[in-house]
Amino acid sequence: MPDWLAILKAYVDTLETIVGTEGGVALANKLTAIRAGYLDNINNAQLLVVPNLSTLSAARIGYLDNINQAGLLQITAARAGYLDNINNVQLLVVPNLSTLSAARIGYLDNINNAQLLNISAARLGYIDLLADAVNGLAAIKAEVEGLAGAAMRGTDGAALAASWTAALATALGNYTALRAGYLDNINQAGLLQVTAARAALLDQITAARLAELDAANLPADVDTLLVRLPAVLSAARIGYLDNINNAQLLNITAARLGYIDTLNTGVLIGSRTAAASRLAGITQIFTKNNTSAANAGDVVVATITTQPCFIKRIVLRSNGATTAELTNAAIYGGAGKVVTFIDSTTGIRANIAAADQQVAWVGAATFAATKTIVITLTGTGATAVNLQIDIEFEAIVDGGYLV
């Protein structure tokens, strides 16, 4: 009888004993649905091939006991595929594990490193080029080794060497520790703020200006300023500086600066020719030196120009000893000398005979443009006089003046 039939007979005998001693209830409790399923499959083709149970060692029984172990349940289809390939020809060629150093083990630990996963097909192509017969490292090495020798390619070796030697000597000679320090500070925040405008200012630092600094004149100049400034920088002037950014000052246009240029402590000089600068109501002074003959008669002193003017004062003064040939001098204005400023009695020679003797008129008179003011010289001969006529006036309309 085969071994497996003997074993089966033993199971049946045991079953009979159980039925006889414990009854049908006990049998029902032990014959579960799972166990009944085993009996249903008793003729399964695989079961008919019963292995040699004598090889079922304690270790193997232990494997069966752990058949539901959590780790075994994680054998996925992919992992099962690994097991299926366990006899793969490549796997059977086991390398010499003695060469698996700590460094190489580290490589294996990093096999899933993010950077390694980024080695694209293009990058692999670059790596392949390293061994390329034409463009690879070996080819480059051969080219570099071919450069060795006394002669340099493309030019005369000795001439080039001499040129480079001189150039390098000059460069190294100019490369001082101070200049090296400049390079160390090349990224200094201040240097990065050197705009085109600021660079233009730096360009203004010429050798002559540096020489002025080297001459050490600045301390003396500063000392001089420190002495002079307190004398001239009054509280009022300091106030002007405090208001230098005043909104009104910022509105001083070129035209307005022109008006200021014509001012002389509130008086406009009559000799100026810019008509636009002669503002109405602003005092102007006109002066004229007359050296006509003592018997010249009527001589024009001034002509009202551009706009009507208001005459306020006239002074007639002698610049030296007046010739005895002059009898008198009188000053008139307007058409036909209708306005008398200084009559012949006031202007008699005796009143203007010596230097700085003078007579004057104070009043009010207005004349339109083109009208004249004249001096009438009455005398016995043609000897020249030396008389000064000063006229204070103002324009009635902007632009009026005397000429």
Beta strands in 291-383 (DSSP E): 297-305, 309-318, 326-333, 339-342, 358-367, 372-379
Which residue numbers in the chain have pLDDT < 70? 1-8, 12-13, 15-31, 43-54, 64, 68, 70-73, 89-97, 116, 146-160, 191-192, 216-217, 258-277
Q: Which two tokens stand for residue 384?
A: 């020249």
Residue 360's pLDDT is: 97
Residue 130's pLDDT is: 75
Residue 272's pLDDT is: 46
Cβ atoms 305, 400 nearer than 8 A: yes
d(CA 389, CA 193): 64
Residue 273's pLDDT is: 46
Cα angle, residue 228 at apex, residues 222 and 229 outer, rounded to 5°:
85
DSSP assignment of 201-268, as one string? HHHT--HHHHHHHHTT-HHHHHHHHHHHHHHH--HHHHHHHHTTT-TTGGG--HHHHHHHHTEETTEE
Taking alpha carbons only, the member of 241, 302, 230 closest to residue 271 is 302
Where do the domains of the chain lie? 1-95, 163-204, 267-402
Give, for 29, the enclosing helix (H) or strand (E): helix 3-30
Residue 270's pLDDT is: 46
DSSP assignment of 121-189, as one string? HHHHHHHHHTT-TTTSHHHHHHHHHTT-SSSPTTS-HHHHHHHHHHHHHHHHHH--HHHHHHHHTTT-T
Residue for token digits 């000053």?
331
Gap between the terminal Cα atoms of the chain: 162
Q: pTM for the whole thing?
A: 0.38
Taking alpha carbons only, the member of 319, 330, 341 closest to residue 385 is 319
State the CATH class of domain 267-402: mainly beta
Residue 285's pLDDT is: 94
d(CA 347, CA 367): 23
